[in-house]
Amino acid sequence: MSRKLFVGNLPYETMEQDLESLFGQAGQVETVTVVRDRVTGRARGFAFVEMASEDAAQKAISDLHGHQLGGRALTVNEARPPAPRPFRDDFGGGGDRNRGGRGGRPGRRTEPRW
């Protein structure tokens, strides 16, 4: 069984290979995912590391939490599942047949006045 770890406070220059070699000191690493910005491709400052065993994950947490990397103290702990997000239908997107398919405000004129 593998353990997924959250790694926070990463320098923006951090690559997957850097984390794989760092966490490899604690045990076998299965996957490393540095979360990146969709538009710029720059790292967002956190990553997820999946260790091969429970023991390796616990060793990584105890050894690397607070470890200095690029002048920053790393935050390493067990990854939690994301919290459920409430559905919000007040963004005004999409539209329906009564609004001309454009979304936006109700009662908005979609045809010209003349």
What percentage of the chain has pLDDT greater than the value 90?
A: 67
Q: Is the pLDDT of residue 75 over 80?
A: yes
Does some domain include residue 86? Answer: no
pTM (2 decimals)?
Answer: 0.72
Q: Is the pLDDT of residue 85 over 90?
A: no
| DSSP state at residue 98 | G
Does some domain include residue 108? Answer: no
The secondary structure of 12-38 as a DSSP string is TT--HHHHHHHHTTTS-EEEEEEEE-T
Please state, in angstroms and rounded to a whole number, the distance separating the CA atoms of residues 64 and 17: 16
The number of folded domains in the chain is: 1
Does some domain include residue 112? Answer: no
pLDDT of residue 53: 94
Does some domain include residue 23? Answer: yes
* 29-54 average pLDDT score: 95
Instruction: Give me 37's structure tokens.
Output: 């910005």
The CATH number linked to 12 is: 3.30.70.330
